[in-house]
A and B are shown apart, each in its own frame.
Chain A
């Protein structure tokens, strides 16, 4: 079981709700993923469209914990404002803290993120910060009282996989809070690899939402995450640079000469 902020979850696959072509497809994918922590984003209400985004209503009908994010915040003040609004709206203290001022790569600002985390933890939020795969930063976020750390595998929505794998390994080794690999996971084998490495969970959005069949892809991710976790618990065998025979080396071929 995954435990974050004294709450336990059976599923180690967190999902995002962005980029789905239709709300019913999103719902089917979340259900197939068996995800229990699902993200959504804060937005100013469109003043012309009376038709509300159905995401929140759908998610409230599902057995999931809602994880609002602060996406769009470019600095500490905006992130804190967004966090407080989300808490007022949902009555929840769960928060995915995201501060990425640069729109091209959407890389998280480590300094603003740490400052915001320090404030929000004191305000009682369960802070899950999206952050660079920087082992020192992850320790600082952990020391600040974050409920987990969410280092990136690659830029958001890039589907490039675990480009940061060597640093993720260090982060996992050092962490005393759950490590949730977020961003860049492009296919189930990436998620499996993160879990084999010892990550506590992964967050996937684009790779599911933009797949040809999102619900089936969500199902595949759920299996991959469970598979990787099982492999981690089983203890993966060590690598060698030379061969180590699995079969007995006999000399029966030599007997023919």
Chain B
């Protein structure tokens, strides 16, 4: 029987446990389901929105999720 090994990543500076097969979109949905309000970088490389569903995360990846807010 295949058992997924959980992995730990950092998301916006905080540790996060994920199933071993988690993709980037799984993480992003934890923050906001309205995906077109977000931009995402993994290890400071910006990942296009169209690639999130297929982007396989690996142990200790640093994920940063950004949005646009009020500002002058």
Write the residues of chain A forming the contact surface with B, with a CB cutoff of 8 angstroms: 16-20, 26, 39-45, 47, 50, 52-53, 55-57, 66, 68-69, 71, 81, 84-86, 88-90, 156-157, 203, 205-206
Contact = CB atoms under 8 A, between A and B. Distances in A.
Interface residue range, chain B: 20 to 34
Interface of B: 11-14, 31-32, 34, 37-39, 41, 44, 46, 48-49, 64-72
A84 B13 CA distance: 20
Contact of B64 (A44, A56, A90): A44
Contact of A57 (B37, B46, B48): B37
A18 B65 contact: no
Nearest to B49: A88
Given A40-B68, A45-B32, A88 B48 contact: yes
B39 A41 contact: no
A88 B68 contact: no
Given A53-B67, A56-B67, A85-B46, A45 B38 contact: yes
B32 to A, nearest CB: 5
B66 A40 contact: no
B68 A90 contact: yes
Contact of B67 (A17, A71, A89, A157): A89
A17 B46 contact: no
B10 to A, nearest CB: 11
Contact of B34 (A52, A85, A206): A52
Which of B31, B32, B65, B71 has the largest number of chain A CB atoms within 10 A? B71
A39 B12 CA distance: 24
A47 B30 CA distance: 9
Contacts of A81: 41, 44
